[in-house]
């Protein structure tokens, strides 16, 4: 997931587009650090550096420094390809401006359209993780197949399922992976969840399920996706005795949100949660930093 | 005929994605849920240390799948790693058990720069013919493949080689790095090579257990049938004379340089044996001399196709055609292209020499001598007897 793009020349910002702001680091200082490294790069070479949960991918061409900020957990290969496309596009339009002093008076803001188009080609990978029967497949279908209605019977998901989701997330689209929740499949999650940006921990809001999630799911998630953002869903809130989202949150050490995936009315809430998680407008945890709770 | 052929790779953001398919309209069997399930079945329990590439088949309500999976290594690198053959519900996927791995290997070997995408339609057309291949044609496919041919040539000289060295050798031969394991699989299956680990060596060791090559033999059946035929005497004499002359020269060439003679035409003849139309003609002619006008009935090929293929077979000196005084044209095998496998007895002394000169690791030489001992025809019979008991 690409979050920002900055283009610098001779210490001046030519272009800046921030889709999801980095609130953990002081952007100006980081950009100065990264652009200093970028200046030393050979023409058209790409390099990257990691700071906390971010990765900064940079390139130098025509003495101009191009920097993409991405989630550290996402696939570097695709962002490198995106960088090549972006710089090629930029040069097609602005190369002559950069070769003379014209760049000092050029308006580069139009580049935002091309930038966001390329950003949308790399889906945000969202993993639905949780024990069998907690409602992951129902959530996948609620998001991607709303006309089908909730499944009437529980059929355990073999290995995993996936679907693309395009909704009100511009410029992003989601690639949602429903991870098989039987114990034998949890050990296989590593093959599926690589490069996952977001994790939604799905629970059925029962005490037993909290214990299973911490004991079985957490070790795999923490090993494979330490820098991913996570929330928990306190699903099945309609069932008697369901723990409240606050209780689930406390038990799991992750902000939890109430859900009834078997109700079509909850689709808007579900999509809104996804959008706000992607744009970092709700509380979330970083998987590797989830505190051990009793 | 299967419904279609598709190649899939694992994309970290998108999961399994179809990178190439034929026919273009093929959709059945390729939906995300099915492809995820197939990936699950293929990779379940697999780790980087325990790769398990292989064939599997699955039945669904509306279709069946024959699947070849290339292994977790290819999966994790995002290379093409899965080949789907989509079948009608009434088809038996096991029919493709030998053919699909061969097709998939061609695809995986041409993964670089996505060269395989151009090959997929042709491979799809070939797959039904692959299932009809005789054992002789399967062996010919080894000789027609430059990489595998080069491996067999190297092993026939040295007997044993480490797979890391083989990788280098292949790189020099074909100019690209390829997965040795994929290339070796059919050779192991045909009993031509064995592989094993030797203490102290960092890569697997490959051993030749049967040598494979192509010879032009005298078809005694053809000679007998020509003699007994009611062809005019001048035609019979002309054939016998030219055949004798031909084989005399061929044997001289073998005596002068066995290796060069055997290998210089292995690829061409191997390709001819894999050309089903040319092969049908060879098969028909192995039964005896034929008047050209009879060939369409014997082979189900058109007259123009027969002319074309006979031209090729004549060019490679496999058939000869002789006309009698009534302008009747007879087609006869000049030689019988025969693919043979033999026990590589000469490699026993060669291995001893390599052991003495320390050109290969001692353990490797000892292990190969053990392999040669166990694969000796006399030993194989004893082992088979013990197994039965």
Residues of B in contact with A160 (CB under 8 A): 15, 36, 40
- B381 pLDDT higher than 70: no
* ipTM value for the complex: 0.88
Q: How many CB atoms lie within 10 A of CB B17?
A: 15
The size of the A-B interface in CB pairs under 8 A is 52
pLDDT given for residue B379 in this prediction: 77
Q: How many CB atoms lie within 10 A of CB A40?
A: 9
Put simply, the chain B residues between 342 and 371 with a CB less than 8 A from any chain A CB are none
- B176 pLDDT higher than 70: no
Question: Quick one: tokens of B102?
Answer: 């061969």
Query: Percentage of residues in chain B with pLDDT exceeding 90?
Result: 53
DSSP code of residue B8: E
Whether residues A162 and B78 touch (CB distance < 8 A) is answered with no
Whether residues B14 and A162 touch (CB distance < 8 A) is answered with yes
State how far the Cα of B42 lies from the Cα of B39, in Å rounded to an integer.
5
- β-partners of residue B19 are none
pLDDT per residue over B1-25, tens digit each? 899 999 999 999 999 999 999 999 9
pLDDT given for residue A64 in this prediction: 95
DSSP string, A175-186: EEEEE--SHHHH
pLDDT given for residue A289 in this prediction: 95
pLDDT per residue over B295-311, tens digit each? 999 998 999 999 999 99
- Among the residue ranges A8-22, B228-242, B371-385, the one predicted with the least confidence is B371-385
pLDDT per residue over B101-142, tens digit each? 888 988 988 888 888 999 999 999 888 778 888 989 989 989
Cβ-based interface (< 8 Å): residues of A facing B: 74-75, 77-78, 122-123, 125, 158-164, 175, 177, 180, 184-185, 188, 191-192, 194-195
Question: Which residues, in sequence order, are CB contacts of A200 under 8 Å at separation 6+?
Answer: A126, A127, A128, A129, A139, A230, A231, A232, A233, A274, A277
Whether residues A159 and B39 touch (CB distance < 8 A) is answered with yes
DSSP code of residue A158: S
- Minimum CA–CA partner of A140 in chain B: B33
Dihedral angle, C-alpha A99, A104, A109, A112, nearest 10 °: 40
Question: Which residues, in sequence order, are CB contacts of B220 under 8 Å at separation 6+?
Answer: none
The residue ranges of chain A whose pLDDT is under 70 are 293-294
Which of A77, A123, A158 is closest, CB to CB, to B37?
Answer: A158
**Residue linked to tokens 């529980």:** A154
- B203 pLDDT higher than 80: yes
Residues in chain A: 294
Burial of residue B257 (CB within 10 Å: 0-12, 13-18, 19+) is: exposed
- B289 pLDDT higher than 80: yes
- B154 pLDDT higher than 80: yes
Angle made by CA atoms B145, B115, B173, in degrees to the nearest 5: 40
Whether residues B15 and A177 touch (CB distance < 8 A) is answered with yes
**Residue linked to tokens 């690209």:** B176
pTM assigned to the model: 0.76
pLDDT per residue over B18-56, tens digit each? 999 999 999 998 999 999 988 888 888 777 666 667 888
pLDDT given for residue A75 in this prediction: 86
Q: Quote the radius of gyration of chain B (alpha carbons, Å).
A: 24
**Residue linked to tokens 């002619």:** B285
Number of DSSP helices (H) and strands (E) in chain B, helices first: 18, 13
- B359 pLDDT higher than 70: yes
Q: How many CB atoms lie within 10 A of CB B179?
A: 20
Does B78 contact A at CB distance below 8 Å?
A: yes
pLDDT given for residue A120 in this prediction: 94
pLDDT given for residue A79 in this prediction: 93
- Minimum CA–CA partner of B45 in chain A: A188
């Amino acid at each position: 997931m690409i979050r920002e793009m900055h283009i610098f020349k001779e210490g001046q910002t030519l272009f800046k587009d921030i889709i999801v702001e980095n609130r953990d680091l002081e952007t100006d200082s980081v950009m100065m650090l990264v652009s200093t490294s970028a200046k030393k790069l050979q023409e058209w070479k790409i390099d990257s550096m990691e700071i906390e949960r971010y990765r900064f991918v940079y390139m130098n061409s025509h003495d101009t420094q191009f920097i993409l900020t991405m989630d550290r957990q996402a696939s570097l290969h695709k962002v490198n390809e995106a960088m090549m496309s972006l710089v090629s596009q930029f040069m097609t339009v602005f190369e002559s401006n950069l070769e003379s002093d014209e760049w000092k008076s050029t308006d580069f803001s139009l580049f935002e359209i091309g930038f966001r188009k390329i950003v949308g080609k790399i889906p945000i990978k969202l993993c639905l993780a949780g024990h069998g029967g907690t409602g992951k497949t129902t959530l996948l279908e609620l998001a991607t197949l709303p006309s089908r209605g909730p499944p009437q019977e529980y059929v355990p998901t073999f290995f995993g399922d996936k679907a693309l989701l395009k909704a009100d997330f511009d410029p992003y689209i989601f690639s949602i992976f429903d991870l098989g929740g039987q114990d034998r499949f949890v050990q296989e999650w590593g093959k599926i969840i690589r490069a996952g940006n977001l994790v939604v921990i799905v629970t059925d809001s029962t005490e037993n399920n909290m214990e299973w999630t911490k004991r079985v799911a957490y070790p795999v998630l923490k090993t494979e996706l330490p820098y991913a953002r996570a929330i928990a869903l306190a699903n099945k809130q309609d069932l008697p005795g369901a723990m409240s989202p606050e209780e689930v949150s406390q038990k799991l050490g992750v902000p939890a949100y109430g859900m009834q995936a078997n109700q079509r009315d909850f689709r808007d809430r579900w999509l809104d949660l996804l959008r706000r998680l992607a744009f970092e407008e709700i509380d979330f945890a970083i998987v590797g930093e989830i505190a051990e709770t009793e | 005929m299967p419904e279609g052929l598709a190649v899939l790779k694992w994309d970290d953001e998108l999961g399994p994605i179809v990178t190439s398919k034929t026919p273009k309209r093929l959709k059945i069997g390729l939906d995300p849920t099915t492809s995820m399930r197939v990936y699950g079945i293929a990779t379940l329990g697999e780790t980087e240390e325990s790769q398990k590439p292989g064939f599997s088949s699955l039945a669904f309500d509306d279709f069946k799948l024959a699947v070849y999976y290339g292994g977790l290594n290819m999966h994790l690198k995002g290379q093409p790693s899965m080949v789907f053959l989509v079948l009608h519900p009434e088809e038996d996927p096991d029919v493709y058990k030998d053919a699909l791995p061969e097709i998939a290997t061609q695809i995986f070997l041409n993964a670089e720069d996505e060269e395989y995408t151009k090959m997929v339609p042709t491979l799809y057309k070939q797959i039904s013919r692959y299932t009809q291949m005789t054992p002789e044609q399967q062996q010919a496919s080894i000789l027609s493949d430059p990489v595998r041919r080069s491996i067999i040539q190297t092993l026939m000289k040295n007997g044993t080689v480490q797979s890391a060295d083989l990788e280098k050798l292949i790189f020099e031969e074909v100019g690209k790095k390829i997965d040795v394991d994929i290339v070796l699989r059919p050779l192991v299956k045909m009993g031509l090579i064995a592989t094993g680990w030797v203490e102290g060596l960092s890569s697997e060791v490959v051993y030749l257990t049967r040598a494979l090559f192509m010879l032009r033999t005298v078809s005694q059946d053809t000679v007998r049938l020509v003699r007994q035929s009611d062809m005019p005497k001048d035609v019979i004499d002309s054939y016998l004379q030219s055949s004798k002359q031909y084989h005399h020269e061929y044997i001289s060439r073998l005596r002068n340089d066995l290796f060069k003679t055997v290998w210089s035409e292995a690829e061409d003849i191997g390709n001819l044996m894999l050309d089903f139309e040319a092969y049908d003609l060879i098969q028909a002619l192995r039964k005896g001399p034929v008047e050209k006008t009879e060939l369409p009935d014997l082979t189900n090929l058109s007259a123009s196709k027969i002319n074309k293929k006979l031209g090729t077979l004549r060019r490679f000196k496999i058939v000869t055609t002789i006309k009698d005084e009534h302008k009747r044209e007879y087609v006869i095998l000049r030689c019988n292209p025969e693919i043979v496998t033999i026990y590589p007895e000469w490699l026993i002394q060669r291995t001893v020499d390599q052991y003495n000169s320390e050109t290969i690791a001692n353990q490797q030489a000892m292990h190969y001598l053990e392999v040669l001992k166990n694969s000796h025809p006399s030993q194989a019979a004893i082992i088979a007897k013990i197994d039965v008991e």
